[in-house]
Structure 1
Amino acid sequence: MAENYDVIIIGSGPGGYVAAVRAGQLGLKTAIVEREHLGGICLNWGCIPTKALLRSAEILDHSNHLKDYGLILEGKVSADLKAVVGRSRGVSARLNGGVGFLMKKNKVDVIWGEAKITKPGEIVVSKSSKPVVEPQHPLPKNIKSQEGTYTAKHIIIATGARPRALPGIEPDGKLIWTYFEALKPDVLPKSLIVMGSGAIGIEFASFYRSMGVDVTVVEVLPTIMPVEDAEVTAIARKQLEKRGMKIFTSAKVAKVEKGAGSITAHVETADGKIQQITADRMISAVGVQGNIENLGLETLGVKTDRGCVVIDGYGKTNVPGIYAIGDVAGPPMLAHKAEHEGVVCVEKLAGLPNVHPTDKGKVPGCTYCQPQVASVGLTEAKAKELGRDIRVGRFSFAANGKAIALGEDQGLCKVIFDKKTGELLGAHMVGAEVTELIQGFVVAMNLETTEEELMHTIFPHPTVSESMKEAVLDAYGRVLNA
């Protein structure tokens, strides 16, 4: 006889495990099905380990410019690739074990295997075809049998996404990498082509450039980091190129030729010319696609669109009792969006009052390259496209005392307000630690804060955050320090 639950979640990435924790907190009998590794791609192969790599790269960059800070170190600091990668994997392993602890703490059963929804309210779990990845920590003691039938009133799909491949330029794990191989290189390539300049592509480009690799980025759209404000990305591009990175925009990799230990990309530029670029390795970073296959969705009639499950603001699909959250439910494909969707979904299905649907317009985005880029809300171009009458404020880090003291004065804070109402429509930042600052604008937008309230908020001095207030003041002709 099938074991029955209130909620079964398929996938233990940020969306899945957070949804499971919240369900456990609400007293719902909960199980989570995982086929490969607790924590999903984000914890094991994405957000966390890449930030560990980028931290090593940041320290290396600073150490090679000690004279700028009046410091002297005899000899040049170099990187031990094996140790850098080992530290990254250790950080991931530590958090992997933490997810197992959270499942146990919140009385969530972990079912190891691959799930298929056979009908609303029922899943069949078969033995996983994938090995457990790097089990530095023992699996939770509350593991259930791999195979079997389980039932639940509510089934949440949180299966995440995987790298998208372009026809004819498919990753092979040797010469053409995805982020999986890029995270654990056996040797450091001397040269690298990065195809795609979204967050994943630019972060890896930044890391490998810091490690001394000759990096070329190819982007099909007119600007790098295309979802970001063009003014911000122009500053980021200038700084990346100053670090020695080569960047082609409005260009595409038309085809590739593989050699014994190198790859040649035929890059077609906007004028139709072809330029051949040879490098040791290429990273394919042309986006991701939802893991919707082999779940039984077609048979059940669950609606999908462009490789993702279609949901409402509460994670509901068109089939009662079946929900989806996170990357598998579409963009923005970000861990924090997945976590929020998981909480909203569980609280709604549990019947809690006053549960607000996820507002994708208030989901911040962060890119952890050097310099960092962070944003929330509408870009200036998008606000104009929507016909909004706007005020725009800007403040350069070159006029911010803390940024100057840090030696990182190349940055910008930009804000966009509705001219009639004072509503904050968007905020965009590039520079030192802006990924830690953007939450201030996110909070302001969630609280429906106006320009007047922001201008009367006291920011501590000296901090880079002062540039946020100055940008607001600038939008209304009241800037004080520029």
Structure 2
Amino acid sequence: MADESFDVVIIGSGPGGYIAAVRASQLGLKTAIVERDKLGGICLNWGCIPTKALLRSAEVYMLMEQAEEFGLSAEKIGFDGKKIVERSRKVADKLSSGIQFLMKKNKVSVIEGTAKLAGKGIVEVEKDGKAEKIKAKNIILATGARARELKGMEADGELIWTYKHAMTPKEMPKSLLVIGSGAIGIEFASFYRSFGADVTVVEVLDRILPVEDEEISKQAERAFKKRGIKIITGAEVQKLDKGENSVTVHVKTKKGTEEITVDRVISAVGITGNVENLGLEDMGIKIEKGHVVVDKWCETDVKGIYAIGDLVGAPWLAHKASHEGVLAAERIAGVKDAHPLDVTKVPGCTYSHPQVASVGLTEAKAKEAGYKVKVGRAPFQANGKAIALGETDGFIKTVFDEKTGELLGAHMIGPEVTELIQGYVVARQLETTEADLMAAIFPHPTLSEHMHESVLDAFGRPLNF
């Protein structure tokens, strides 16, 4: 591979990197991708995919516990934590093999090793103590991010966990405390609670899932408390005292300091970009708050070097990284109808129980932006399919511009809303108005009917509640 030249070299093979490689190859660019570990990156191997496998096990277990409600009977219901983790790992391994196939199918050269920038148009790859240099007309940095850790509360993999440790527990803890109530923290809180752990969530802000619409956050808190999850908001973890097989957490609340002793602690306080040892500073690439700075085309301030995904900051989502990968590849190839990313069109999903999903502006953000809004809400308690499923907690909320009828945002909590949200994503992409959505025919009986009802409610026309 030494001295070989490529049109594009991508560093990192996560959902941003491997998708960028596929699109670049489709556009006729000679492409290589460098990966130091497993193809698929954190998302596929240690994030999005295996966590959903874990959460699926939790969902099935919860249904087994509710068998009697469905006229069924089941005896000696139990779980094997080791087998739950093994299934999760098998799912990840299967998909990682799929990425290998994709690279081969698209004639992308896969180079194993640790990469860094070594001058203009040069990528140096080191493996097993040997280094080689590769020529690249364009470079896409897709090195992702890792868990941010609080000083003095660093993970040890035994008593204090990051998401990675939480995915492969040696045994299921009987109690745990989660620091942070974003999507990662809430998903693990939901998972471990499903298997009987006493779970406490501590959030420094005044509400959980703080990026979501405030009404959604409040409904989520009610639902999680109903499941037995203890939630402490407006609180700060000051220190952790490790015992032999437990941790005492000192939590500063509005009422004073509280000590909570648990088996394990999960730190889920955000992520920071993998910017180290890449040669960024030597190339003059700007870094702010642990993330690479890019323009609307994902290009750094060094021409020909792009950065995508978690490396460049929020929203830290796999599908956003993939979109940026396509955008960077198309920009390099000179595709004329490429468009910069609009973050208000990026959906967010939390795979807890109940699920949470959203796209666009919250009601508060829409008002802050100067819109006069119309808001619709449709409770799942009035949805036939939700009643049949036995999952009626939650609602769908839509936010419209009163003047133009533009759908500004949609926010959901309830059954399968992570699948439903795509309908509103497409609507926003097509610049759909309330008239288009109200005229659309939704199938019955489905959960998606309530997407229609929420729109109707915003304009005073609900038909089923």
- Read off the aligned partner of 2:266 and give its amino acid letter: I
Residues 88-107 of structure 1 aligned to structure 2 (within 5 Å): 88-107=88-107
Residue 212 in 1 paired to residue 196 in 2? yes
The alignment partner of 2:158 has SS state of coil
Deviations 1:258-289 (A, max 9, x none): 00100000011123x00000000000000000
TM-score by structure 1 length?
Answer: 0.95
The structure 1 residue matched to 2:400, chosen from 404, 413, 417, is: 417
The structure 1 residue matched to 2:155, chosen from 143, 159, 171, is: 171
- Read off the aligned partner of 2:312 and give its amino acid letter: A
The alignment partner of 1:14 has SS state of coil
The alignment partner of 1:182 has SS state of helix
Aligned twin of 1:197:
181
Shift of 1:447: 0.1
Partner Cα distance (2:25, 2:359) in 1: 31
TM-score by structure 2 length?
Answer: 0.98
Residues 57-206 of structure 1 aligned to structure 2 (within 5 Å): 57-73=58-74, 75-127=75-127, 147-206=131-190
307-316 or 373-382, which moves further after superposition?
A: 307-316
Shift of 1:239: 1.1
Aligned twin of 2:7:
6
Change (3 A) 1:158 1:59: same
The structure 2 residue matched to 1:224, chosen from 205, 208, 219, is: 208
Residue 357 in 1 paired to residue 358 in 2? no
Partner Cα distance (1:15, 1:263) in 2: 37
Partner Cα distance (2:433, 2:328) in 1: 30
Partner Cα distance (1:313, 1:95) in 2: 31
Kept in 2: contact 1:6–1:28 (CA 8 A): yes
Shift of 1:384: 1.4
Partner Cα distance (1:164, 1:244) in 2: 28
Aligned twin of 1:140:
none
Which sections of structure 1, spanning at least 5 residues, go unmatched?
Answer: 130-145
Aligned twin of 2:370:
387
Partner Cα distance (1:461, 1:163) in 2: 43
- Read off the aligned partner of 1:238 and give its amino acid letter: R
Residue 451 in 1 paired to residue 452 in 2? no
The structure 2 residue matched to 1:396, chosen from 375, 379, 389, is: 379
Residue 299 in 1 paired to residue 300 in 2? no
Aligned twin of 1:138:
none
Deviations 1:391-415 (A, max 9, x none): 1110000011110111001111000
Deviations 1:51-110 (A, max 9, x none): 00000000000110111112122x231111111000000000000100011111111111
The alignment partner of 1:107 has SS state of coil
- Read off the aligned partner of 2:91 and give its amino acid letter: V
Shift of 1:233: 1.5
Partner Cα distance (1:62, 1:241) in 2: 19
The structure 2 residue matched to 1:237, chosen from 206, 221, 245, is: 221
Partner Cα distance (2:73, 2:64) in 1: 10
Partner Cα distance (2:73, 2:275) in 1: 55
Aligned twin of 2:443:
460
- Read off the aligned partner of 1:395 and give its amino acid letter: A
Residue 47 in 1 paired to residue 48 in 2? yes
Residue 481 in 1 paired to residue 464 in 2? yes
Partner Cα distance (2:363, 2:254) in 1: 25
- Read off the aligned partner of 2:181 and give its amino acid letter: S
- Read off the aligned partner of 2:97 and give its amino acid letter: G
Shift of 1:383: 1.1
Partner Cα distance (1:125, 1:42) in 2: 23
Partner Cα distance (2:128, 2:162) in 1: 22
- Read off the aligned partner of 1:57 and give its amino acid letter: A
Change (3 A) 1:128 1:22: farther
- Read off the aligned partner of 1:64 and give its amino acid letter: E
Partner Cα distance (1:120, 1:84) in 2: 47
The alignment partner of 2:118 has SS state of strand
Partner Cα distance (2:363, 2:249) in 1: 34
Shift of 1:128: 6.3
Shift of 1:167: 0.6
- Read off the aligned partner of 1:334 and give its amino acid letter: L
Partner Cα distance (1:23, 1:299) in 2: 27
- Read off the aligned partner of 1:231 and give its amino acid letter: E
Q: What is the aligned-residue RMSD (CA, Å)? A: 1.0
Residues 249-328 of structure 1 aligned to structure 2 (within 5 Å): 249-271=233-255, 273-328=256-311
Partner Cα distance (1:76, 1:253) in 2: 39
The alignment partner of 1:282 has SS state of strand
Shift of 1:313: 2.2
- Read off the aligned partner of 2:113 and give its amino acid letter: G
- What's the % identity of the aligned pairs? 62
